[in-house]
Each structure stands twice: as structure tokens, then as C-alpha cells.
Amino acid sequence: MPRCLSYIRVGISAEGWARCARRAAEGSRFCRFHEDAVNGVVLGLWVNGFPERSTARTGPGTKDKQAPQRQTAESPANLDSA
Ligand SMILES: [Zn+2]
């Protein structure tokens, strides 16, 4: 059985990650814990839509610039209005 594809936090550093040591569940690429986590995140995004990307940046020359916001027909955010 292959190893889980996910990473877990290590230590207190925000950049400390290590590969999950659990075995992938049968028929999955993730251990049961991470499979539930991934499914929960995807379900939440699907039901609630993807949050708008923040384009606010600070610094010289970026005061009034905003990146264009686009939504495609495939975006889950559009499902509620269909
Ligand atoms: Zn895992």
C-alpha cells in the first residue's frame, strides 16, 4: 500500500512540513485522516464557492492597481445562480 501524499506540520515554524507517514487507504492516495480533510475542503469550496482572491497589495506604485477578477462558467461559485 503506498504512502499518503499529504504533508503535515513539523515544529512551530510556518514553513516546517514533512511527508505524512501513514499509509494510503485502499483505493485512495491519502490516509483516512487526510482523505477526509481533502474531501471536506473540496466540499466546502463546492457548496460555498471559492473566496474572492485578495488583490490588495501595499507598496509604492500599487496603490490603485487591481488585478481583474474573472469567474468562469465552470466556477462552483456560479452554481447557486444557475
Ligand atoms: Zn496522511
Q: Ligand 1 centroid to 76 CA: how many Å?
A: 27
**Does the CA dihedral 67-69-49-31 come out positive or negative?**
negative
Report which DSSP code applies to 77: G
Confidence of residue 80 (pLDDT cuts 50, 70, 90): very low
Percent of the chain beyond pLDDT 70?
A: 67
Q: Ligand 1 centroid to 33 CA: how many Å?
A: 6
pTM over 0.75: no
- Do 10 and 18 touch, CB atoms closer than 8 A? yes
Q: Ligand 1 centroid to 42 CA: how many Å?
A: 16
